[in-house]
Amino acid sequence: MTEIWFIADTHFGHENIIEYEKRPFPDVETMDQHIIKKWNDKVAPNDLVYHLGDVSLHKKARTKEILSELNGTKVLIRGNHDDNPTAMRTIGFDAVLESAWLRVGSHDCVLLHDPGNMRHGTIWHFHGHVHSRWKYKPEERSICLSVENWDYTPVNQTELSKYMDRQQWSVDRVSVYLPYEPKQSSEWIAPITLQVDA
């Protein structure tokens, strides 16, 4: 049976990320090999992996070598450190997208790199970009799949579905965001009342 996995912000070859994020590795090669091993320990060759952006800062040839070592069919949701879609397909991704919609368990989810592009509401957001700044923001239906939050390991859809199932919403209203800054509070659209099942 094909499993679906998620991961973000591997940053292969990025020496400075070790310092920025206090990654527990002495050098880039150790970090790269650790992430490759963690990936292949979980992901089978016929599984599907969504990488939510910022793959590598190596040169293309080395990145291609790394991707060839990683199990699974690989779909990239492009991040701010990733090259254009054609280049990313050339080095080993089976598909390259800017975002995607996916059903995970009983939940509708959008996949994207930068949570600054989230649309709040009933949709869950899987993303990267913020690294260790947060893992979950249930009030925003946000899950950060950056490797620092998940022991440098891809995360299975079943684990994420169970987490989303457990959330009990204490807030029954969601603000609607407008594409401009209101001059007065009365210009905001009234919040939408949601029916929350107990």
Tens digit of each residue's pLDDT, the chain (198 residues) = 789 999 999 999 999 999 999 999 999 999 999 999 999 999 999 999 999 999 999 999 999 999 999 999 999 999 999 999 999 999 999 999 999 999 999 899 999 999 887 766 678 999 999 998 989 888 888 999 999 999 999 999 999 999 998 885 533 333 333 333 333 333 333 333 333 343
> Which residues are within 8 A (CB) of 153 and not within 5 positions of it... i.e. 6 or more apart?
7, 38, 39, 41, 42, 147
Q: What is the CA radius of gyration of the chain?
A: 18
| DSSP for residue 150 | T
Domain 4-168 listed as CATH 3.10.400.10: no
**Gap between the Cα atoms of 8 and 153, Å rounded:** 10
- Token pair recorded at residue 159: 């684990």
Residue 36 · residue 70 · CB < 8 Å:
yes
Give the ranges where 21-156 is alpha helix by DSSP (H): 28-42, 60-69, 85-90
Measured in Å, how far apart are the chain's first and last C-alpha atoms?
33
> Which residues are within 8 A (CB) of 49 and not within 5 positions of it... i.e. 6 or more apart?
4, 5, 6, 7, 39, 43, 70, 71, 72, 73, 74, 75, 154
Q: Write down the domain spans for the chain.
A: 4-168
Q: Is the pTM of this model over 0.85?
A: no
Residue 18, amino acid: I
Q: 């199932």: which residue's tokens? A: 165
Q: 């929350």: which residue's tokens? A: 196
Task: Compute the residue count for the chain.
Answer: 198
